[in-house]
Structure 1
C-alpha cells in the first residue's frame, strides 16, 4: 500500500515535469519558427542583424535538442514509474481479493460456530435440567476454583490434574454406587467414571 502511494506521487511529479518540458520545447520552437520566418521573408536586411539572428537560430536549435533529450528522459522515467505503479496496484487488487475471501470464510465459519454454540447451549440447558440442584451447585463451586468442575477418570488417572489414583482410592471408587458423586482427592473435581476408568474389579 505504501509502495503504491509512493509510486503515485512519483508518477504525478513526472507527469508535471513532462508537461513543463513540453511547454519549454514548444516555446523555444515557436521562437525559432518566428525568427526563421522573419529571415525567410526578408524582414532582416541589415547584415549584422542577419548574422546575429543566424547565430541565435543555431543556439535555439541546440536548446531545442537539449530540451528534447530531457523530455525523452522524463518520458522514459515516467513509463517505468507507470509500469511499476500498475504492478503495485495489481498486487493491491490481489491482496484486496484475498482479504475479501478470508473475511467471507471467517464470517462463514463464525456463522457455523455460532450455530454450534447455540445448539450446544440448548443441549447444556436440557442437561442441566436433569441434574440435581445440589450436584449442580457443587460443580459450579469447583469450576470457579479449578476452571472445570468435573474430569474424566481414565486409566486410573484424573484428567483434571493428571494424578494417578492409588489402589486404595480406586478401590473405594469401585465400591461406590453408580449415582454416587466421587471426587479427586488432589483437585476436588467430580470424577466421571466410564469403562475406561480402570477401576479395580471392573473391565
Structure 2
C-alpha cells in the first residue's frame, strides 16, 4: 500500500488522540471515588439492615409497654370499682371477697409496674443503640453524597476533555485517505496500536530495536510505501529521526 508521507505522519497524531481517548476512558472507569462508593453501598446496606433490626426491637418494646400500660389501667379501674363496692357492701362474705380481690389486684398491679419499668429501661437501651446506628448511617450517607459530587465533577472534567480530543481526532482522521485509515483502524483493533514512530531503528510500537534485516527492507521502501512493524504489526511512520 502507498500513502502520502504527510498522511502517514498524521497517523502519529491520530494514534496520540486514540491513546488519550483510551486513557480517559480508563480513568473514568477507575476513579478512586468509584471503589469507595462500591464499598459504601455494601456498608450502607449492612448498617441499613442493623437500623431496621433496632427499629423493629423498639417497635416491639413500645407495643409491649403499651399493652402493659393498658393492663395497669384495667387493673386500676377494677380496683377502684371494688373499693367503691366495698364501701357500700354490708355482706361479710362480699366484703371478704372484695378485700381478697383487691389484694390480688394490688399484687398484679405491682407486678405489671415492675414489668413496665423493665420495658422502659429496655426502650432506653434500644434508643441508645438506635442513636449510634443512626449516626453511623448519617456519616456513611454524607460520605456517599460527597463522593458522588466529587465523582460527577471528575467525570464532567474527563468528558469535557474527551469531547475535545474526539473532535481533534475526527479532524485528523478526516484528512487521511480511506484506505490508510482503514488499515490503521484494523491494526489498532487487532493489536492495540495502529501506528508508531520508528526512531533510531527502534519501533515505538514495541519499544524494540528492529533487526538489521528488517531495517534493510525498510530502507529499500519508497517514502510513500506503508511499512508495518514486524513485531507489533502497527504502521511504522518514518521521519528524519528514524535513523535510516
Q: TM-score range by the shorter chain?
A: 0.7 to 0.9
Query: Partner of 2:100 in structure 1?
Result: 55
Looking at structure 2, the residues matched to 82 and 133 of structure 1 have their Cα atoms a distance apart, in angstroms, of 72
1:15 corresponds to which residue? Answer: 62
Q: Which has the higher helix share?
A: 2
Match of 2:91 in 1: 46
Q: CA deviation at 1:109?
A: 1.5
Q: Distance in 2 between matches of 1:78 and 1:169?
A: 84
TM-score of the pair, normalised by structure 1? 0.79
Distance, in Å, in 1 between the alignment partners of 2:51 and 2:116 is: 24
Identify unmatched segments of 5+ residues in structure 2.
1-47
Q: CA deviation at 1:51?
A: 2.5
- Aligned residue for 2:174? 129
Report the TM-score, using the length of structure 2 for normalisation.
0.68
- Between Structure 1 and Structure 2, whose CA radius of gyration is higher? 1
CA deviation vs aligned residue, 1:102-144 (integer Å, no higher than 9, x gap): 2222221121111111100111122223434443232123223
Counterpart selection for 1:111 from 153, 156, 159: 156
1:28 lines up with 2:80 in the alignment: no
Residues 27-80 of structure 1: per-residue CA shift (max 9 Å, x gap): 1112122223333x3x12233332332222221111111111111111122222
1:88 aligns with 2:133: yes
**Separation of aligned partners in 2, 1:190 and 1:97:** 51
Distance in 1, matches of 2:189 and 2:150, equals: 35
Distance in 2, matches of 1:27 and 1:154, equals: 98
Q: How many pairs does the alignment contain?
A: 197
Flag the 1:38–1:195 CA change in 2: closer, same or farther, 3 A: farther
Distance 1:15 1:168, change over 3 A: same
How has the CA–CA distance of structure 1 residues 175 and 85 changed in structure 2, closer, same or farther, with 3 Å as cutoff?
same
If asked which structure has higher relative contact order (CA below 8 Å, sep 6+), I would say 2
| Alignment counterpart, residue 4 of structure 1, candidates 38, 43, 51 | 51
